[in-house]
A and B are shown apart, each in its own frame.
Chain A
């Protein structure tokens, strides 16, 4: 039985279709991240699962129950919001227990559950404070606790870390991952931050214009993006794309010819055609690795951006701006000429027109 199952979901706001015939199955205990740029419908989808938005068509199942028409509080979900959404006039304990009090749970039981959640999240000392007396990180812990006390089956996170500063975000990210390992609940997490997506997810659903483009593990999304959009979206700095043509098992473009002997074509996708080649900045070969390259090109270093652990090099390839990620120890300065190489087992090819992976 799937933990959350979405069947042919449609959602329209007036004449605007926000979600289009969307299907998604989430396994028991799985951590799914919905990733996409703003306006792709990821938060809308989460709100539909929570029951905060009425769907236009389709069905939603949670633990095998059809909850399409069910009230949010009766779906077995807990939700954590970007703005924390703590009730300002209630203490932390009041915030944690609000759902239980509404459900008519006995006082002793409430105390026990609040204490347990506070212990898991290490907020015992804060129970009598008001939200206004808490820091951002503490507030978000309380917000997570509010879902925790209700013993829900599914946790929904709506960009929970976006309001926090970078350092705190990293800390809480690890904490959410630890929480997932400890509780083993199903979690659905919306974000536009690909680092959060890659680090947290069992599977990532990349969304665009109300559809899921690809649903796969982080490694697969990174290594085998189904189309040019996904390839461009995942990875930082972004993948380089060059236009060219596949002819007789080799890719021809302005910068040269790459033999595709080692390229793993998808079923029935080999054959001559116009295509894009996608090369990740970190997959460009320099120095001693060059002997294994399928193509070596000499480029001029236009801009060098040292970032500590690695160095980003900007150059021009086939008339286009091209990014190369080098080891931080690599010695290079602006204006230097450098040999760079590509290996056909570390590139992606996309059809020029349909933009799907070849």
Chain B
């Protein structure tokens, strides 16, 4: 018979190498390698000279590390006739992304706030139409927008592209702001009304100070979305206003004799650096914000 001195006692022993652990961590490890391998290849290739690229295995580390491909990609890689690298495109992307992000978030946050807290006649219909807009394929509207921009006199300019990006960001941003504001306690809004704050007073003094998680989500969504955009960039701008993604495509696709894999790799990493940095800085906030805004419909 077991008595209190011989029976199991204290924490149950658990082996780290249990079958379930091996399966879970093994899967995670495999998937991580699968996703990181291309990035690794890009990094090592971008630091090799062309002579080395031709000779070595794609997975091999560079024998002699060189940053020349990076400088070339930034300032002297050729797109068609011009050899100015990605620099111009980077600035264009900056001039497109910053105002688009600011305008779309400014308008969508007010939209979402009005929809969540100031129910007006027809609010539901407006919201339904807006959400429907989120599911219409962009391609359908490409040409009509060309006409609209032409009539407005901004076709080909950065301003035109900013307008397009701001409008296309509206449905999803309005949705997440509305959901976030709906999830805040309604009594807070009531208290502010009794305290005599109006539409804008409540928005700026009560709602916005509580909105940092959802603002972070909106900024990340917009920065990455607009920075990575290729279609609108190539359709609605002239070559001198091309965003970085279009520039990158042109660099990678223009070949005179030998394809400069190392320069192409460097150019691609440089282009992806902005969204990547944003993710690294605010990844945790992003997850928290997504959870805060998206749960309640």
Contact = CB atoms under 8 A, between A and B. Distances in A.
Contacts of A47: 190
Contacts of B195: 73, 98-99, 102, 146, 150
B259 interface: no
Interface string B187-208: 1101111111100010001100
B197 A85 contact: no
B257 interface: no
B210 A79 contact: no
Contact of B196 (A85, A88, A102): A102
Contacts of B209: 87-89
B242 to A, nearest CB: 42
B122 interface: no
B210 A85 contact: no
A73 B193 contact: yes
A89 B204 CA distance: 12
Interface string B169-200: 00000000000000001011011111111000
Contacts of A235: none
B193 A98 contact: no
B132 to A, nearest CB: 24
B120 to A, nearest CB: 12
A27 B197 CA distance: 29
A81 B190 contact: yes
Interface in A8-60: 47, 50-52
Interface in A263-319: none
A259 interface: no
A102 B197 contact: yes
A77 interface: yes
A85 B193 contact: no
From B190, B191, B201, B206, residue with most partner A Cβ within 10 Å: B191
B201 A85 contact: no
B196 A99 contact: yes
A72 interface: yes
Nearest to B212: A89
Given A78-B194, A79-B191, A98-B195, A87 B185 contact: no
A185 interface: no
A52 B210 CA distance: 22
Contacts of A87: 188, 191-192, 205-206, 209
Contact of A102 (B185, B190, B201): B201
Contacts of B185: 83, 85
Contacts of B205: 87, 98
A338 interface: no
Contacts of B210: 88-89
Contacts of A85: 185, 187-188, 190-191
From B193, B195, B209, residue with most partner A Cβ within 10 Å: B195
A82 interface: yes
A73 B190 contact: no
A81 B187 contact: yes
Contacts of B197: 73, 98, 102
Nearest to A104: B196
A142 B10 CA distance: 48
B190 to A, nearest CB: 5
Given A89-B210, A102-B201, A73 B196 contact: yes
From A72, A74, A77, residue with most partner B Cβ within 10 Å: A72
From A78, A79, A82, A85, residue with most partner B Cβ within 10 Å: A85
A174 interface: no
A120 interface: no
Given A87-B188, A87-B206, A88-B210, A79 B201 contact: no
Nearest to A84: B187
B35 to A, nearest CB: 39
A168 interface: no
A195 interface: no
Contacts of A72: 190, 193-194
A50 B190 CA distance: 9
B241 to A, nearest CB: 41
B194 A99 contact: yes
Nearest to B189: A85
A52 B193 contact: yes
A113 to B, nearest CB: 13
Contacts of B187: 81-83, 85
A77 B196 contact: no
A79 B186 CA distance: 14
B194 A77 contact: yes
A134 interface: no
A296 B205 CA distance: 69
A337 interface: no
A179 interface: no
Minimum-distance CB pairs A-B, first 8: A73-B196, A99-B195, A102-B196, A85-B187, A89-B209, A85-B191, A81-B187, A72-B194
Given A52-B193, A52-B194, A87-B188, 8 more contacts: A47-B190, A73-B196, A83-B185, A85-B185, A87-B205, A87-B209, A98-B195, A146-B191
12 contacts: A50-B194, A72-B193, A73-B194, A78-B194, A79-B194, A81-B191, A85-B188, A85-B190, A85-B191, A87-B191, A87-B209, A146-B195
